[in-house]
Amino acid sequence: MSRDRTPDSHDFPTRRYDLVKEFVIALVVVLVLSGALAAVFSSPDEKAITMSGWAKADPDNLVTTAAGELAGTTTSAGYGAPYNTAAEGQKLGPIPMQKLGGVRIPINSADLVLGPLSNSSIDPAVSSAVATWKAATPDQQTKWATAYSDAIGTAAADGAPATGAGGEVAKVKPGEYGPVPALSSGLLALAKTGGLEGALTSSGNFYGGDQTKSLLLLADGAYLEDLAVAQNLGGDQWGMMNEVGNAPGQPWMWLYTFWYQVKPFSTSDNADAQVWGLMMLLTLLLMFLPFIPGLRSIPRWIPIHRLVWRNYYRTKRA
């Protein structure tokens, strides 16, 4: 197709055709279909999980997460841009894409614990623990928090043996943990009251609307993820396409999520940036298809169009 010899469509013989009637009929069809599908299948509305729900369902995990925030070992603590400079972030080849965005949403993970406890706590033991923490050197803080996190440990999983107290806070052996146990259990207590989300609001004023800190804390824990994986929403479960229960999700995300299921992306530290880069390339290829020799000739080689225009081709032959 080096020279486009397509004739002008306006030069062809015509037939009567009612575009407006076609539009109105299509509109009625879509209205009826949407209305019927909505009536029969509804839409899912699984209630948002709360910090108090987390506290009740898995208190040990909330305490572990709090200790991790103080130790700087949680996902958000080591995330990098846009939250902090703790990591280089993901790269696309040599380009440090994640870092290029800059730290424009500064979040100190320890503040996810200390912020709510400093502002909201009415328990003198917790206030005293906050004061002790703030008076200590950063090195001392890290020592305490790391020691407590290690002491809590993790349950046995995937063939690996249990560590520390196997994740059970009540079984932690005595040790040099400073104010960390009091801070972590203080956060648990605040979560149980239902006040933690409000104390973590990122909006900066009376009006909510920015849940960044609450969601980062939830994402650092296991509760949110465990519930999601149970609903097949995990990243290695084609989760991007799915919704809770039997509801349809975003099936058009199939190719985006496909790459996460296969190597090298499934084991890559830069998977997100790499998948984005690949999908951007494929999108551009499809977008500029009219200019790509070979690819743009596929409709010629696989002549499905002969079905579309069979009346026309038959008339021409006659």
Partner 1 sequence: MTARTDELTSLETDDPGNWTTRLRGRIEGLVPAGQALPARQPVYVASWIYIFGVLTLTSLVVVIASGCVLALGGVQWWHVSSLGHYVNSVHLWSVELFFGFMVVHLWGKFWMAAWRGKRALTWISGMMLFGISIGTSFTGFLSQSNFSSQWIGAEGKDGINSIGAGAFFNVLNPGQMLLWHVVLLPLGVGLLTLLHIILVRRRGVVPPLDAELEG
Partner 2 sequence: MSALSIVAGAPGKYISWGVIQISVANLAIIGAMVLLFILALVVPFPTHDEQPEQEGRTQ
Q: Establish if 246 lies at the interface with partner 2 (CB under 8 A).
A: yes
Structure tokens given for 98: 């994640």
Stretch that binds partner 1, among 114-122, 125-133, 151-159, 219-227 (CB under 8 A): 219-227
Strand blocks (E) in 84-127: none
Angle separating helix axes 59-71 and 138-152, nearest 10 degrees: 150
- Per DSSP, 46 falls in state P
Q: What letters, b where the CB count within 10 A reaches 16 and e where it falls short, cover 48-87?
A: eeebbbbbeebbbbbbbbbbbbbbbbbebbebbbbbbeee
Q: Is residue 139 involved in binding partner 1 (CB under 8 A)? A: no
- The answer to whether 183 touches 113, Cβ cutoff 8 Å, is yes
Range in contact with partner 2 (rule: CB under 8 A) among 73-81, 89-97, 191-199, 244-252: 244-252
- Residue 173, Cα to own-chain centre: how many angstroms? 36
Nearest residue to 124 via CA among 186, 198, 187: 186
Least distance between partner 1 and beta carbon 285 (Å): 10
Alpha carbon separation from 308 to 25, 73, 77, 235, 314 (Å, rounded): 22, 60, 57, 39, 12
Residue from 4, 18, 45, 158 binding partner 2 (CB under 8 A): 45
Q: How far is the CB of 254 from partner 2 (least distance, A)?
A: 8
Longest dimension (CA), the chain: 96
198 binds, among partner 2, partner 1, none (CB under 5 to 8 A by kind): none
Chosen residue from 194, 198, 251, 264 binding partner 2 by CB under 8 A: 251
The correct pick among 56, 134, 171, 305 for binding partner 1 (CB under 8 A) is: 305
d(CA 148, CA 71): 9
Residue 159 in tokens = 């063939």
Binders of partner 1 in range 71-90 (CB under 8 A)? 79, 81-82, 89-90
Whether the CB-CB separation of 173 and 165 falls below 8 Å is answered with yes
For residue 183, the minimal CB distance to partner 1 (Å) is: 24
CA distances from 195 to 54, 151, 155, 210 (A): 13, 28, 29, 16
* Contact assessment for residue 224 and residue 211, using Cβ atoms and an 8 Å cutoff: no
Total residues contacting partner 2 by CB under 8 A comes to: 38
Kindly state whether residue 210 participates in binding partner 1, applying the rule CB under 8 A.
Answer: yes
What CA–CA distances, in Å, run from 155 to 60, 152, 173? 11, 9, 15
Under the binding rule (CB under 8 A), the answer on residue 18 touching partner 2 is no
Q: Report the partner that residue 300 touches, choosing among partner 1, partner 2, none (CB closer than 5 to 8 A by kind).
A: partner 1
Encoded one letter per residue, x for contact with partner 1 by CB under 8 A and - for no contact, window 20-59 reads x-xx--xx-xxx-xxx-xxx-xxxxxxxxx----------
User: Min. distance of Cβ 216 from partner 2 in angstroms?
Assistant: 24
Under the binding rule (CB under 8 A), the answer on residue 269 touching partner 2 is no
237 binds, among partner 2, partner 1, none (CB under 5 to 8 A by kind): partner 2
Shortest gap between Cβ of 225 and partner 2 (angstroms)?
Answer: 14
Q: Which two tokens mark 7?
A: 């004739």
Interaction of residue 293 with partner 1, rule CB under 8 A: no
Residue from 19, 157, 262, 302 touching partner 2 (CB under 8 A): that is 262
Please identify which residue in 105, 222, 244, 271 interacts with partner 2, judged by CB under 8 A. 244
Per CB under 8 A, the segment of 119-127, 173-181, 188-196, 238-246 that binds partner 2 is 238-246
Interface with partner 2 by CB under 8 A: which residues? 10-16, 39-42, 44-47, 227, 230-232, 237-238, 241-249, 251, 254, 261-262, 304, 307-308, 311
